[in-house]
Amino acid sequence: IVFVACASLPRTLAPRQPPGPKLYVFDCGHISTNDAGLFSDGGEYKGRRLEFPVRCYLVRHPKGDLQWDTGLSDTSVKNGRTGLVIEGFHLVHTNAYLQQLKALGVEPDTVEYLAMSHGHFDHTGNANYFGAATFLVQGDEYDAMFAAKPPVFFDPATYSELQKSKVVRLSGDYDVFGDGSVVIKRAAGHTPGSQVLFLKLARSGPIVLSGDLWHFEENRKFSRVP
């Protein structure tokens, strides 16, 4: 029997790169209208059909989780009301967001940060799930959301719990985790304090999540604010 002693050879290891953020996209409903004229002062879209996929986003970063937009309210799913009509918009929501999150192994009360593109009901529908999170919101948007008489399409019932949350009132851009990979950028216009989310992802590169910043290609091409 021959025993061979093997010495460990020194190796030069490449430094481990810290993992970047990951983006998860969820189905949070669908909206359609047969008259998109509401989105143009010029009236050129009057009578034009428009389809909106409603999305919720979870950004998972080594330093914490950020929930971005919360879609249509799960109460419409629980109550079986999948054909609501509000102000000429037909709303359908069949896949409760809470169940989608739990399928990923995430409980809403463990999410560290909540931010939304703006305060309209199709972006705040499930915000009350995230009352334990720190709410990142432009100051003028917060004032509109909790005004005695909120603007049209704001539904305070969908975000009432956020009055108890820790709030960071923003007045411009905000680097959520301090490394430039998840940055909230002010984009007022659609509402008083609309904002978009810039992400720098390892595979996809830089992307922007823009809730209702544009509804048509013409909005962007001709700098028309919806």
pLDDT in tens, 47-57: 889 888 999 99
**Among residues 71, 66, 72, which one has the least CA distance to residue 197?**
66
d(CA 116, CA 124): 7
Indicate whether 103 pLDDT > 70.
yes
Q: Which tens digits make up the pLDDT trace of 2-44?
A: 333 334 434 444 443 447 899 999 999 999 999 888 777 777 7
pLDDT at residue 226, rounded to an integer? 63
**Among residues 163, 164, 162, 144, which one has the least CA distance to residue 154?**
144
pLDDT at residue 217, rounded to an integer? 81
Average pLDDT of the chain is 88
Higher pLDDT, 5 or 70: 70
pLDDT at residue 12, rounded to an integer? 44
Q: Are strands 134-138 and 113-115 parallel, antiparallel or unpaired?
A: parallel
Residues in CB range of 67: below 8 A, 6 or more apart: 56, 57, 58, 59, 108, 111, 113, 114, 115, 130, 133
Residue 14 phi/psi, 5-degree rounding, is -70, 140
The length of the chain in residues reads 226
d(CA 199, CA 176): 11
User: Cα dihedral sign for 215, 218, 221, 225?
Assistant: negative
Percent residues over pLDDT 70 in the chain? 91
Q: Which tens digits make up the pLDDT trace of 187-205?
A: 998 899 999 999 999 988 9
Mean pLDDT, residues 81-94 taken together? 84
Higher pLDDT, 81 or 106: 106
Torsion angle of the four alpha carbons 160, 166, 198, 111, in this order, in degrees rounded to the nearest 10: -80
Whether the Cβ atoms of residue 197 and residue 185 lie closer than 8 Å to each other: yes
pLDDT at residue 3, rounded to an integer? 35
Indicate whether 122 pLDDT > 80.
yes
DSSP H stretches of helix in the chain: 75-78, 97-103, 121-124, 139-145, 217-221
Indicate whether 213 pLDDT > 80.
yes
Q: Which tens digits make up the pLDDT trace of 135-147?
A: 999 999 999 999 9
Query: Of 13-17, 148-152, 180-184, 190-194, which gets the smallest average pLDDT?
Result: 13-17
Indicate whether 158 pLDDT > 90.
yes
Categorize the per-residue pLDDT at 162 as very low, low, confident or very high, splitting at 50, 70 and 90: very high
Residue 145, burial from CB neighbour count under 10 angstroms (0-12, 13-18, 19+): buried
pTM over 0.95: no
Q: DSSP letter at 193?
A: T
pLDDT at residue 5, rounded to an integer? 38
